[in-house]
Amino acid sequence: MKKIIIILLSLFLLMSFAFSANAKSLKFAFMPGIADPFYFTMEKGAKAKAKELGVQLIVGEFPKAWGPEYQVPILKALVARGDIDLLFTAPTSTEALIPVLKEIHDSGIPVITVDTYIGDGDYSKPSKYSFPLSYIGTDNFLGGQTVAGALAIMLKGKGKVFLENTNPDTSSVINREKGFRAGLKIFPDMELVGVEYCLDVQETAAAQVSAALQKHPDLAAVFGVNVFSAQGAYQAVARSGLQGAVKIATWDATQTLIQALKKGEVDLILAQMPAEMGALCVEWGVKYLKEGAKIPRKVIPGFFIFTKDNVNDPEAQQYIYK
């Protein structure tokens, strides 16, 4: 018995040595919003940067569906490890995540929100949600406006359009909608005939767009705000045999959507820069923790517009999500 105890104790000692040996490097945690190519690409970008800067990156389980009930338990389990120096996450709700992230912040872990934010995303003014170091993500409003403009040009400034959105309580997609509405206002003959929310379920998006096509046979274009709504939208259009007649604008340059663009099922794709977002989180995090640098409260990487004309350009390939 004694022997066993001695062996066990020495094992524990060994293990604690092993752990303390790599305790010096910074440890960042990344909590994604949902399992999709956008966040996979972000993870890759973050991992590459972490390797470069010698940061250990722990990635939380990718939630199977979008929503605080899927994300929060994983997030809590992730930070309960207690060995994390900084967290960057895409909050799945502007409100529900405020107290959760606040608790993490209060326990001494600085928080960066990436792609989505909490509250209204303005962390520069004091408020109950202004504690995150920074919001790193696309200017979704500007992106929405850009898509509206590009569609209007494609349709020669005239036609009915439909918006397929995902979650009414997620900052990023709501701003795309706002930007899209604002962008359309510039063109007096462009009309937004409807908005639906598919809650990130592709089948729902397909059904909603099918219904819109029934209701508005002269529909000229659909804008699907993310991977699921866009893929659902083009399935619905393809099923009705209206490819080409109904233009589809989408967001996020996933492999599937790029293939669809090449086949002519989709006409316009706004590519964000998820890999860059991930890398920026790691880079600014290191600067903040090691050099005490002041991080801008908002960091906005740009975006890239894919159409049939440039999808095969060599310099465009880097914007495809991998």
Partner 1 sequence: MIGNQKARHIFLSLIRRWIFFFFAAEIVFFSITGTNYFSLKNLQNILLASTTVLLLATGETFVIITGGIDLSVGFVVGLSSVVCAKVMVDLEAAGLSQTLSISSGIIAALILGLLPGLVNGLLVANFRVPPFVATFGMYGIAYGSAEIICNNVPVHNLPTSVASMGHGYLFYWLPGKAFTFLSKPENLTRMELKDLISIIPNVTMITFLAIGVFAFILAKTKFGQHTYAIGGCTTAAERAGVNVKNHLIKVYMISSFFASLAGVMYVLRFITGRAPAGSARLLDAVVAVVIGGASLYGGTGTILGTVIGALIIGALEIGLVNLAIPTYNLHIAVGCILILAVLVDQFSPELVHRED
Among 54, 157, 168, 264, binds partner 1 (CB under 8 A): 168
Would you say 138 or 166 has its CB closer to partner 1?
A: 166
CA distance 207 to 219: 16
Identity of the amino acid at 289: L
Contact pattern from residue 45 through residue 64 relative to partner 1, giving x for each residue in contact according to CB under 8 A and a dash for the rest? -------------xxxxx-x
In angstroms, give the least distance from the CB of 168 to partner 1: 5
Contact pattern from residue 14 through residue 43 relative to partner 1, giving x for each residue in contact according to CB under 8 A and a dash for the rest? ------------------------------
Among 48, 149, 169, 301, binds partner 1 (CB under 8 A): 169
In angstroms, give the least distance from the CB of 257 to partner 1: 25
Mapped onto helix, strand or coil, the DSSP state of residue 273 is: coil
In angstroms, give the least distance from the CB of 151 to partner 1: 25
Among 2, 108, 312, 315, binds partner 1 (CB under 8 A): 108
Among 44, 48, 76, 296, binds partner 1 (CB under 8 A): 76
Contact pattern from residue 124 through residue 153 relative to partner 1, giving x for each residue in contact according to CB under 8 A and a dash for the rest? ------------------------------
Q: Give the strand order in the sheet containing 159-165.
A: 190-197, 159-165, 219-224, 247-251, 268-271, 304-307
In angstroms, give the least distance from the CB of 33 to partner 1: 15
Q: Which stretch binds partner 1 (CB under 8 A): 73-81, 265-273, 283-291, 312-320?
A: 73-81
Q: Interior CA angle at 162 toward 161 and 165, to 5°? A: 145
Identity of the amino acid at 44: K
**What is the DSSP track for 118-172?**
STTS--SS-STT--SSEEES--HHHHHHHHHHHHHHHTTT-EEEEEEE--TT-HH
CA distance 125 to 63: 31
CA distance 265 to 240: 12
Tokens for 84? 């994390």
Work out whether 99 is an interface residue with partner 1 (CB under 8 A). Answer: yes
Work out whether 103 is an interface residue with partner 1 (CB under 8 A). Answer: yes
Kindly tell me the sign of the dihedral angle through the C-alpha atoms of 45, 46, 51, 53. Answer: positive
Work out whether 165 is an interface residue with partner 1 (CB under 8 A). Answer: no
Mapped onto helix, strand or coil, the DSSP state of residue 112 is: strand
Query: Would you say 188 and 158 are in contact if contact means Cβ atoms under 8 Å apart?
Result: no
Question: How many residues touch partner 1 (CB under 8 A)?
Answer: 36
In angstroms, give the least distance from the CB of 280 to partner 1: 22
Number of Cβ within a 10 Å radius of residue 157? 13
The contact set with partner 1 (CB under 8 A) reads 58-62, 64-65, 67-70, 72-74, 76-78, 80-83, 93, 95-96, 98-100, 103, 106-108, 167-169, 197, 199
